[in-house]
């Protein structure tokens, strides 16, 4: 076996702000993998790199805006989607990606999420779901499974979690995928596809959070949650989305796949069609 | 005889057509070369509740509610019961006598009552019960006859209003109008003193305040508007939704005000002019984005049309109780600018100015207005577009070479420059790569918690206010500069104060009025000078606690003799009550 080579270069260097490293993420966190998949997808995308823009919110995932070497905006908590909406509408030629976590995107920002999916605005939503609010120290959020323990659910979470692929599809997202941070190749390809899709492209990235979520839920070691993903992951592109909720109980599956990939007129296409009618004087 | 000075109140119910009747009447007065101000006093209701629409006309520019309506066009009995007592001696009632009985419980001997079977005339001649809607127009015919208004002018206005509904509707309205005029001619003997005379036609615009604001924004290069429906700012959203697509502009009705204002910041980051409009409850939701605009140094313009609060409050009525909100609402310290138009005309120009200021100084600019200015119409001179200059400040739209940092770092978006305003490249501009951020950052926009950098960034941002100060609209002095009885106000009361000052002058009491157009940063020096010799300052505002009066010592840095003149019942202040307040301290 060859000895490990230590290098000061990273394959994603061209797209990473090296001077910003080391990053702030905890050992065992999945955000690094998610970021790498995003960067790899950008490198092979048809869109020139200077036309890629990332908007992130607040929380651990929010830091991505500072690490990626493209134009980026680090918005307030819960608001990356509305910010990205304004940006995309005024600069349609940009490939606008929202990189956000579960607390930001779907808990405080849930209203923006459902309405923007309904509008089918041409955004890429990279949604890192680690089942808790990491940056504030491990509170429960809208994707925390029932009965899971967090600092604000000391007796277990009384609430039920969102099943995000089902929600996104129900709101009309034309592209819905879910992969874990172990599925780096599939995840990268799903992100590439999200860039191509004209409309609200949603990629859920199931990510370990050993410090915030794992320690209180029997995944204390960084490897435990990853092992659970590896053992529980079931690839099923045609899964019944009503059945893909995640319990994070050992033995229960984590269904992954590219669930939805359909054509549905984007906001821009729909708007142009109606305005064209007006210009041509049609009823 | 009272010529060219009257207020006609149309009292009816929401949805009964009295609003359209009022709109037509306002246009008729404008077409006669008269000045007009309309007052919609409407309930938070679409159909059924009592509503009134008052059209004031005069041969001089007006922008206030008259002390009383002169003519009450009572579309139903309720209107007479509600408003009959407001009429002055020699006032006029036009009343529907179709039921065959006189006006119920109306015993005033000092007003002129014209009984007209409006409903019977309509139903008998225009096609049965379904035609009752035309009785408004019949009453217009009666009014035209009484005021000696040429029916042809009204027909022109009717044609413009209804032509899109088809020739049949236009003809029916003409018929209704003629029936009213004919009835009046044959049956009524004029006893009241009011007449209108046509003046040389002035080229004037009769425009809603919200429309003027929207137009001002568009004229100043607005390309993105996001809003959420809320009285009294909804008309801005509606007007722009209709007009922006022609200019490749984008209008979004967002899911809430948080989203609307944040979308504006996104559009701003993209390098295009953006704006949102709202009222108190929506403004509450926008506060986090105001702070973000301050921190990320993204231009933001918010039109804040005040209405009666707190909470849902009096959603369709006037108030100016959000002053403290717009001056102070936020977390953290950052620079902001607050402007306050005093007339509908100023609404146009100050909105255009706001877009320049926001972009030049990269900060939030709030245009504080009120329901009275937003949802009423006034005749004003046509807009002078040559006065609108678009100044995009330090926006960088072209590839940047020289400014690229030599050590390979990214563009210094938040460069610590002397005047506080750093160059701002739009995304995807070569050489302009940067992170923009709501979190404390270094010159390139990267997150930092370095204490010295934090201090330097805070000072840089705050310096922008001093850079901006010389360019902000100063206070306007109206009236007799040597008077020691001084009014101080902003927004709607401006028009009422003008009229009050004229009446006080006739009574031998000279006054002056200091009208604030920039509320923040407060022009303490200029206002202090104008108030220096005041014996008494009457601070006029539409709120309970006298917010401006209470803040004045803090804003000015000195205590001056003030009397607070307030109104907070949801109705517009009248010149008469301001005269009375002034006489108490004169």
A71 and B270 within 8 Å at the Cβ level: the answer is no
Torsion sign (Cα): A37, A40, A41, A42: positive
User: A73 vs B437: CB contact, 8 Å cut-off?
Assistant: yes
The predicted model gives B76-93 an average pLDDT of 91
* pLDDT (mean) for B176-184: 96
The arrangement of strands across the sheet holding B536-541 comes to: B476-479, B512-515, B485-489, B536-541, B562-566
Q: Does B254 contact chain A (CB < 8 Å)?
A: yes
- pLDDT, tens only, B408-435: 568 999 999 999 999 999 998 888 888 9
Q: Is B272 in Cβ contact with A65 (below 8 Å)?
A: no
Q: To which residue do tokens 């701003």 refer?
A: B268
- Cβ pair B192, B142 in contact under 8 A: no
Answer yes or no: do B266 and A94 touch at CB < 8 A. no
Neighboring chain B residues of A84 at a CB cutoff of 8 Å: 266
Q: Look at residue A282 and tell me whether its pLDDT is greater than 70.
A: no
> Is residue A86 within 8 Å of B226, Cβ to Cβ?
yes
Which pLDDT belongs to residue B9? 96
At residue A283, the pLDDT reads 61
Cite the beta strand spans of chain A per DSSP E.
Answer: 52-56, 71-74, 95-101, 124-129, 175-180, 201-206, 233-235, 254-261
Section B71-89 average pLDDT = 91
Sketch out chain B's domains with CATH numbers: 2-195 (3.40.920.10), 206-387 (3.40.50.970), 394-473 (no CATH), 476-585 (3.40.50.920)
pLDDT digits (tens, 9 = 90+) for A156-170: 999 999 999 999 999
Residue B200: per-residue pLDDT? 86
> Does residue B466 carry a pLDDT above 80?
yes
pLDDT-based confidence at residue A43 (cuts at 50, 70, 90): very high
**Token pair in block for residue B505:** 């002058």
Task: Reply yes or no on whether the pLDDT at A1 is more than 90.
Answer: no
Percent of chain A with pLDDT over 90: 87
Decide: A121 and A270 in contact? Cβ < 8 Å.
no
What's the angle, vertex CA B582, arms to CA B578 and CA B586, rounded to 5? 170
Which domains does chain A carry?
A: 29-279 (3.40.50.970)
A11 vs chain B: nearest CA distance in angstroms?
19
pLDDT exceeds cutoff 90 at B197: yes
B397, pLDDT greater than 60: yes
- The pLDDT of residue B101 is 74
Nearest CB neighbour to B274, from listed A75, A86, A111: A86
ipTM: 0.88
pLDDT mean over A239-250: 97
CB contact under 8 A, A94 and B274: no
Mean pLDDT of the residues in chain B:
94
Query: Which residues 431-450 of chain B have a CB within 8 Å of chain A?
Result: 432-439, 445-447
Q: What is the pLDDT of residue A19?
A: 83
Whether B186 shows a pLDDT value over 90: the answer reads yes
Instruction: Determine the distance from the C-alpha atom of residue B509 to the mean position of all C-alpha atoms in its chain, rounded to a whole number.
Output: 30
Per-residue pLDDT tens digits for B287-326 = 999 999 999 999 999 999 999 999 999 999 999 999 999 9
* B278: nearest Cα among B367, B353, B396, B411: B367
Q: Which of B255, B288, B432 comes nearest A76 by C-beta?
A: B288
The string of pLDDT tens digits covering residues B487-541 is 999 999 999 999 999 999 999 999 999 999 999 999 999 999 999 999 999 999 9
A65–B269 C-beta distance less than 8 A? no
Q: Which of residues 263-282 of B touch A (CB under 8 A)?
A: 263-272, 274
Rounded (5°) CA angle A31-A36-A40: 150
**Which phi and psi (to 5°) does residue A150 adopt?**
-140, 180
| pLDDT at residue B405, rounded to an integer | 53
The number of CA neighbours under 13 Å toward the Cβ of A93 is: 8
B262 touches chain A (CB under 8 A): yes
User: How many angstroms away from the CA of B271 is the closest CA of chain A?
Assistant: 8
Q: Answer whether A90 touches B (CB < 8 Å).
A: yes
Mean pLDDT over residues B334-350, rounded?
A: 98
The Cβ of residue B386 has, within 10 Å, a number of other Cβ atoms equal to 6
For chain A, what is the mean pLDDT?
94
Q: How far apart are CA B108 and CA B87, in angstroms?
A: 10
Whole-number pLDDT of residue A18: 83
Contact between B436 and A74 using a beta-carbon 8 Å cutoff: yes
Tell me the mean pLDDT in the region B225-230.
96
Of B250, B439, B447, the CB nearest to A89: B250
For residue range B20-49, what is the model confidence (pLDDT) as tens digits? 899 999 999 999 999 999 998 887 777 778
Maximum CA pair distance of chain B?
Answer: 92
């Amino acid at each position: 076996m060859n000895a490990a080579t230590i290098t000061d270069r990273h394959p994603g260097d061209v797209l990473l702000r090296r001077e910003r490293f080391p990053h702030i993420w905890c050992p065992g966190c999945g955000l690094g993998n998610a970021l790498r998949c995003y960067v790899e997808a950008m490198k092979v995308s048809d869109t020139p790199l200077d036309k890629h823009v990332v908007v992130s919110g607040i929380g651990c995932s929010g830091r991505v805006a500072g690490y990626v070497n493209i134009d980026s905006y680090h918005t307030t908590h819960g608001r990356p989607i509305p910010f990205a909406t304004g940006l995309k509408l005024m600069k349609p030629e940009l490939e606008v990606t929202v990189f956000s976590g579960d607390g930001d995107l779907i808990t405080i920002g849930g209203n923006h999420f459902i309405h923007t999916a309904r509008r089918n605005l041409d955004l890429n939503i990279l949604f890192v779901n680690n089942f808790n609010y990491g940056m504030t120290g491990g509170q429960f959020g809208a994707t925390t499974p029932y009965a899971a323990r967090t600092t604000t659910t000391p007796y277990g979470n009384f609430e039920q979690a969102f099943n995000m692929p089902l929600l996104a599809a129900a709101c009309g997202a034309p592209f819905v995928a879910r992969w874990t941070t172990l599925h780096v190749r599939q995840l990268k390809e799903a992100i590439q596809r999200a860039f191509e899709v004209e409309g609200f492209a949603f990629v859920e990235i199931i990510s370990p959070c050993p410090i915030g979520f794992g320690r209180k839920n029997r995944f204390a070691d960084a490897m435990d949650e990853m092992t659970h993903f590896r053992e529980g992951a079931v690839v099923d592109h045609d899964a019944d989305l009503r059945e893909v909720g995640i319990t994070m109980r050992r033995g229960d599956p984590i269904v992954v796949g590219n669930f939805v990939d359909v054509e549905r007129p984007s906001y821009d296409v729909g708007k142009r069609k109606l305005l064209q009618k007006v210009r041509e004087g049609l009823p | 005889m009272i010529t060219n000075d009257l207020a006609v109140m149309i009292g009816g119910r929401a949805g009964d057509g009295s609003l359209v009747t009022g709109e037509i009447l306002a246009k008729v007065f404008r077409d006669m070369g008269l000045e007009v101000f309309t007052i919609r006093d409407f309930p938070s209701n679409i159909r059924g509740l009592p509503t009134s629409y008052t059209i004031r006309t005069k041969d001089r520019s007006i922008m206030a509610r008259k002390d009383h309506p002169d003519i009450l066009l009572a579309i139903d009995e309720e209107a007479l019961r509600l408003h009959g007592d407001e009429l002055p001696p020699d006032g006029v009632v036009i009343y529907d006598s179709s039921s065959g009985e006189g006006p119920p419980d109306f015993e005033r001997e000092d007003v002129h009552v014209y009984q007209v079977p409006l409903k019977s005339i309509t139903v008998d001649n225009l096609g049965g019960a379904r035609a009752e809607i035309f009785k408004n127009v019949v009453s217009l015919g009666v009014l035209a006859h009484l005021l000696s208004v040429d029916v042809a002018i009204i027909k022109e206005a009717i044609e413009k209003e209804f032509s899109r509904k088809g020739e049949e509707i236009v003809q029916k309205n003409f018929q209704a109008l003629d029936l009213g005029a004919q009835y009046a001619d044959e049956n009524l003997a004029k006893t009241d003193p009011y007449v209108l005379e046509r003046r040389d036609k002035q080229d004037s615009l009769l425009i809603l305040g919200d429309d003027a604001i929207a137009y001002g924004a568009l004229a100043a290069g607005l390309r993105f508007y996001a809003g959420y429906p809320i009285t009294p700012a909804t008309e801005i959203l509606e007007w722009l939704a209709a007009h922006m697509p022609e200019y490749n502009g984008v209008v979004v009705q967002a899911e809430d005000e948080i989203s609307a204002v944040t979308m504006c910041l996104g559009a701003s980051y993209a390098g295009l002019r953006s704006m949102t409009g709202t009222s108190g409850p929506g403004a509450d939701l926008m506060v986090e984005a105001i702070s973000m605009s301050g921190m990320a140094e993204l231009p933001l313009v918010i039109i804040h049309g005040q209405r009666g609060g707190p909470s849902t409050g009096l959603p369709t009525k006037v108030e100016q109780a959000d002053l403290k909100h717009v001056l102070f609402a936020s977390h953290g310290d950052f620079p902001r600018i607050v402007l306050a138009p005093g007339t509908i005309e100023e609404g146009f120009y100050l909105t255009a100015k706001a877009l320049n200021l926001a972009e030049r100084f990269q900060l939030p600019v709030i245009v504080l207005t009120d329901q009275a200015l937003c949802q009423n119409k006034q005749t004003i001179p046509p807009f002078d577009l040559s006065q609108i200059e678009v100044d995009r400040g330090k926006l960088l739209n072209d590839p940047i070479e020289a400014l690229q940092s030599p050590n390979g770092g990214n563009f210094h978006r938040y460069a610590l420059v002397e005047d506080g305003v750093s160059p701002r490249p739009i995304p995807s501009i070569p050489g302009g790569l940067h992170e923009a951020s709501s979190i404390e950052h270094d010159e390139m926009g990267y997150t930092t918690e370095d204490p010295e950098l934090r201090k330097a960034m805070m000072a840089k941002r705050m310096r922008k206010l001093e850079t901006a100060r010389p360019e902000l609209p100063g206070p306007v002095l109206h009236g007799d500069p040597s008077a020691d009885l001084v009014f101080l106000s902003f927004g709607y009361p401006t028009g009422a104060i003008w009229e009050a000052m004229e009446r006080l002058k006739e009574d031998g009491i000279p006054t002056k009025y200091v009208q604030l157009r920039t509320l923040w940063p407060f022009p303490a020096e200029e206002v202090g000078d104008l108030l220096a010799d005041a014996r008494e300052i009457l601070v006029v505002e539409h709120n309970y606690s006298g917010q401006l009066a209470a803040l004045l010592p803090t804003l000015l840095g000195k205590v001056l003799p003030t009397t607070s003149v307030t109104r907070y019942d949801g109705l517009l202040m009248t010149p008469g009550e301001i005269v009375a307040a002034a006489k108490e301290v004169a």
